Structure 1
Amino acid sequence: MKNVKDRIAEITTKGYELDFGTVFENAFENYKKIAVYAGSMLLIFTFLFIILLFGIAIAVFGVGALSEFIKPGNLKPETFTGDFLLIYTACVILITCLLSPFQAGFLKMADCGQKGEEFHVSTIFEYYKPPYFINIVFATFTITLFSTGLSTLAEQAGMPFIGIITSLAITFLTFITIPLIVFGNLNATEAIKSSITIILKQPLVILGLIIVAFIASLTGLIAFCIGIFFTMPFLYSMEYVLYDSIIGIDSVSEIDELGSNV
């Protein structure tokens, strides 16, 4: 089996082939294996998270202050102060980082589905443990800091469109960062750099696949919006299959090689 870093080095010099139809078909087949279970987990834990978030907000700020804040007139960007934007950015980054191993768990679920293995509720918490947790959180922190920070700066400069484009570009280029960590055992910095390198070798094909997967995931909005929880896992299946098609799930990391030689 090829070493992950050797495969990335090969991609850097020679590139790789990626067939749109094959990747899409494989992603859809993988999605069918996890859709119901993954969708149920997304629905339940999103509901619980919202309750927890509001509970914390009420405990910290009080019902009156929270009710005043969520009034439509107070949610206009021009009313936000510098301190509020700083706190808002920090909260977004913190929440995103804490939830990132949870989202990575759906990649593990996709892997189990692909291999015909059983998966349970505990599967989506697979990466809340070392060495994955630190690398996933640090990678997410770095990506979100740049994405949110640059987007906020652009919006404050009166160029919200530039901010949106910048944020989307960063998200696109780092799309397979987490799979590189959980399946390739790369550290956060290596995974981010490698994701950018890999994506830039086939940007149009990958962009097309992501756009199609995103549109497909939004079809759940038709079913009283609840369906979105059951179509959203298609994005995770696409992320998983993209990584498998480019790097290969059976590729081994340096850690695995060392273990096999002991």
Structure 2
Amino acid sequence: MKSTLDQIEDIKNNGYFLDFSTVFNHAFENYKKIALYAGLILLVFSILAFFLGGGLLVSLYGVQHFNEEFLKNLQNEQTSTSVLAIYSVVIAFFAALFSPFTAGFLKMAYCADRDEEFKFSTVFTYYTSRHFGQLFISTLLISLVSGFISVLFNMVGIILVDTFIALAITIFTSLAIPLIIFGDLNAIDAIKSSIIIVSKQPFTIILLLFVAGIGSAIGLIGCCIGVAFTIPITYSVKYALYSAILNIEEENSIDSIGSDSE
């Protein structure tokens, strides 16, 4: 079997075929297998994050400050460039810290696709894996680039362009995490390879990710709690995309499964 980098080189030179309906049907069938389990995990952690975040804000500002006037002042306050830069660094760090959590859902999709057992601890697989460092670095780099581009455009007062650039970065690097955990690439190679892959079939991949985003947003209808059970469709689409384009090497899979039992 060709290495991941060899496959990427072939894609760079010759491109690849990608059928929207095949990938989406694969993703949807896989989603049905993980929706309940992944949704419950996301719901529990969302509730915990809400209370922890609320508790942190109350401890910093005091509960007496959270009134209508405070919220209006917060909304109207003009944030300085230095503060925006600090926010970008902090957000990038937290995004990087949670990247193995995201990778865990992709591992769950992998197990479901092969009818292998997965459990609650599956989402934490890559916190103890050798891939943790590369996951952290890749997400940190992507988030920092996106964040500082946002700061630059905010400095010149062009927010709409900033939004499109941030969205483009997200799309073109969307396969970086699966390339690390399934392709065994380092952070830089994973980012570059993701850009190469997406650039060869941008419209099909954008359409797949767009439909996945719409599917995730359906959970907002009626009761916002439902979004926890629709978000996993995005993980299923990314996994289905990767498996449709590249071979998942068994040795990498066995390595990641072995880290579950550690």
- Distance, in Å, in 1 between the alignment partners of 2:218 and 2:5 is 37
**Aligned residue number for residue 93 of structure 1:** 92
Q: CA deviation at 1:66?
A: 6.5
- Distance, in Å, in 1 between the alignment partners of 2:162 and 2:63 is 33
Question: 1:102-251 to 2 correspondence within 5 Å?
Answer: 102-250=101-249
**Match for 2:235: what amino acid?**
Y
**Match for 2:24: what amino acid?**
F
Q: Indicate how the Cα distance of structure 1 residues 172 and 50 shifts in structure 2: closer, same or farther if over 3 A, else same.
A: same
* TM value normalised by structure 1: 0.90
- Distance, in Å, in 2 between the alignment partners of 1:102 and 1:180 is 15
**Match for 2:98: what amino acid?**
L
- Please tell me whether residue 33 in structure 1 is matched to residue 16 in structure 2: no
**Aligned residue number for residue 260 of structure 2:** none
- SS of the residue corresponding to residue 175 of structure 1 reads coil
Cα deviation digits, residues 128-172 of structure 1 (max 9, x gap): 124211111110000001111112221231110010001001001
- Distance, in Å, in 2 between the alignment partners of 1:123 and 1:69 is 44
Q: CA RMSD in A?
A: 2.1
**Aligned residue number for residue 259 of structure 2:** none
- Distance, in Å, in 2 between the alignment partners of 1:89 and 1:190 is 24
Cα deviation digits, residues 111-135 of structure 1 (max 9, x gap): 0110101111100001112421111
**Match for 2:56: what amino acid?**
I
**Match for 1:244: what amino acid?**
S
- Distance, in Å, in 1 between the alignment partners of 2:68 and 2:92 is 24
**Partners of 1:151 and 1:162 within 8 A in 2:** no
**Partners of 1:184 and 1:252 within 8 A in 2:** no
* TM value normalised by structure 2: 0.90
Cα deviation digits, residues 32-81 of structure 1 (max 9, x gap): 000000011001011112222233344445445676996133123x5212
- Please tell me whether residue 74 in structure 1 is matched to residue 68 in structure 2: no
Alignment gaps of 5+ in structure 1: 257-262
- SS of the residue corresponding to residue 116 of structure 2 reads coil
- Distance, in Å, in 2 between the alignment partners of 1:208 and 1:238 is 11
**Partners of 1:213 and 1:234 within 8 A in 2:** yes
Per mean C-alpha deviation after superposition, the further-off stretch among 236-245 and 85-94 is: 85-94
- SS of the residue corresponding to residue 127 of structure 2 reads coil
Q: Indicate how the Cα distance of structure 1 residues 189 and 66 shifts in structure 2: closer, same or farther if over 3 A, else same.
A: farther
Q: Indicate how the Cα distance of structure 1 residues 221 and 68 shifts in structure 2: closer, same or farther if over 3 A, else same.
A: closer
- Distance, in Å, in 1 between the alignment partners of 2:89 and 2:147 is 9
**Match for 1:56: what amino acid?**
L
**Match for 2:43: what amino acid?**
L
Q: CA deviation at 1:222?
A: 1.0
**Match for 1:106: what amino acid?**
F
Cα deviation digits, residues 200-239 of structure 1 (max 9, x gap): 0111111111111111111111131111110110000000
**Partners of 2:18 and 2:245 within 8 A in 1:** yes
**Partners of 2:85 and 2:147 within 8 A in 1:** no
